[in-house]
Structure 1
Amino acid sequence: METKLANPAPLGLMGFGMTTILLNIHNAGFFPISSMILAMGIFYGGIAQVIAGIMEFKKGNTFGTTAFTSYGLFWLTLVALIVMPKLGWAEPTPHAYMGCYLAMWGLFTFFMFLGTLKGKTTLKFIFLSLTVLFALLAIRDFTGSELIGTIAGWEGIVCGASACYLAMAEVLHEQYGRVVLPY
């Protein structure tokens, strides 16, 4: 008897998308880092994406497993980098070191983008715009440029919104048995 498994991608995409939008509203200069962003980073951006990655593993999807688990752990490490110094558990990370952290995530994301080239247009856009976002954030931290940080914030809002769009397109497609939102 074959068991039908639910598509975990919308959960992972929404966890990524909503958390990315909220953090980048901060990066664009609208409000400071707060418990709201940190909580989203831990629970929806972090834990929910790790769960989606594990579910993708069960379905045999190496790309989905790697993407959702990795970006879920990205959010958890990012929150740890912000919170651990405030708790006295570690020294604050200098901007240049954060630039290296973000550049490594950008490199990883670029290679993941290459994995989307035979896939859905929206998925290609998400990974390409995320690659650009990590590059902009790394440059911001290497240079200290507030302008680049603001540009990154706006670009990140678009990136996160595209992930939310794909998540809802997939949910509606499954619910209605046809393409409702093109993707």
Structure 2
Amino acid sequence: MMPQQDQPANPAPLGLMAFGMTTVLLSLINLNIVDATLEKSFVLTMALFFGGIVQLIAGGIAFKRGDTFAATAFSAYGSFWESLAFYWVLNSEPIGLAPAASARATASFMIMWGIFTFLMWILTFKHSWNLVWIFGTLWMTFFLLAAHALRGTEILLRAAGYFGLVCGILAIWASFCILFFEHTGVELPGASRPL
């Protein structure tokens, strides 16, 4: 289906892909599948540009289309990636403008995002099964990362990595489902509404 002339294209596929790919990359680091030194290079640039700026753009387009849920989600998570990347830059070796965050500060950051995501998750039951699972695995990821920050145990980081990996893959799938439907009219698994 082609968008109307006066209405911008659906920003959801782009926003979901930006979120999903960035989340997968960071989760692979949390799972120790990919070398953690990538955090300072690929994840940082991915978080700044694709996960951050692109999601903020998707949020702006969603606002223009009158889609409050998508506008809030994409703008918020775009800001999440921007703030995380900016913290990494400030905390990096050559710059060093910000000291490393304490365990409590990191946990507080993750808990706030976990609460926000949990509240957004409740709203997903009026959207699609894909979103229910994306937001469900995401709030669990945030709370596991908060627990890891406080406890420092590897098992919590790995659990967060697995939930984040599933979340990111589901976001990539949801992006493809929307694109596929808009191009073919065929609804793929997970795209239907639960309620």
Q: Is TM more than 0.5 here?
A: yes
Aligned position for 2:83: 77
Which residue of 43, 49, 67 corresponds with 1:61? 67
Equivalent runs, 1:150-165 vs 2, <5 Å: 150-165=158-173
Aligned position for 1:109: 117
Task: Pick one of 128, 131, 148 that aligns with 1:123.
Answer: 131
| 1:124-180, Cα deviation, whole Å (9 max, x unpaired) | 110111010001100000111111101111111000000000000000110112224
Corresponding residue for residue 132 of structure 1: 140
* 1:89 shift after superposition: 1.7
Structure-2 residue corresponding to 1:18: 21
Contact 1:81 1:92 in 2 (8 A): no
Deviations 1:59-107 (A, max 9, x none): 0011111100000000011111212022122111112210110000000
- Give the whole-Å Cα distance in 2 for the aligned partners of 1:34 and 1:77: 14
Partner of 1:94: 102
CA contact (8 A) 2:128 2:190 kept: no
CA distance in 2, matches of 1:83, 1:92: 11
Is the Cα contact below 8 Å between 1:52 and 1:68 reproduced in 2? yes
Q: Aligned partners of 2:55 and 2:85: how far apart in 1?
A: 15
1:148 aligns to what? 156
Q: Percent identity?
A: 39
- What code does the residue aligned with 1:113 have? W
- The residue type equivalent to 1:89 in the other structure is L
Q: 128-137 or 85-94: which moved more?
A: 85-94
Question: What displacement does 1:3 show?
Answer: 1.8
How far apart are the structure 1 equivalents of 2:188 and 2:163? 26
Name the count of aligned residue pairs: 183
The alpha-carbon deviation at position 34 of structure 1 amounts to 3.2
Q: Which runs of 5+ in 2 are unaligned?
A: none
Deviation for aligned residue 1:56: 0.1
**RMSD value over aligned CA atoms?**
1.3
Counterpart CA distance in 1 for 2:18 and 2:118 is: 20
Q: Return the alpha-carbon distance in structure 2 between the equivalents of residues 157 and 2 of structure 1.
A: 37
Query: Match for residue 55 of structure 2?
Result: 49
Paired residue for 2:45? 39
